[in-house]
Structure 1
Amino acid sequence: MDTMRKVLIYLTAAMMSFALSGCGAVKVADKYEDSLTKAYIEKMNGEKLTVNLTVTIDYDKEKIGDDSYSQLLEVNGENRHLFESLESGDIEFYQTDGKTWRVDAKKKEIHPLDGNGNFGADNADTVLKEAPESDDFVSAEKDTDGNIRETFDIDGTVKVFTYDGKTGELIDMEYKTDSIPGDNSAVIKLTVNSFKEGCGEIKLPEGYTMID
Structure 2
Amino acid sequence: MDNKSKKRKKIIEVAIKLFVERGFHGTPTSLIAKEAGIATGTLFNYFKTKDILINEIFIEIKLEQKESILKDLDGAKTCKMKLRKIWNNLIVWGIENSEERKFINYFSNSNFISDNTKTEIHKNYKFLLDIFREIIEKKDMKNINELMLILNFMGACIFTAKYFHITNENYDEKLSDEPFERFCKSIELGDED
TM-score norm. by structure 1 comes to 0.22
Q: Which has the higher strand share?
A: 1
Pair member with larger Rg: 1
TM-score norm. by structure 2 comes to 0.24
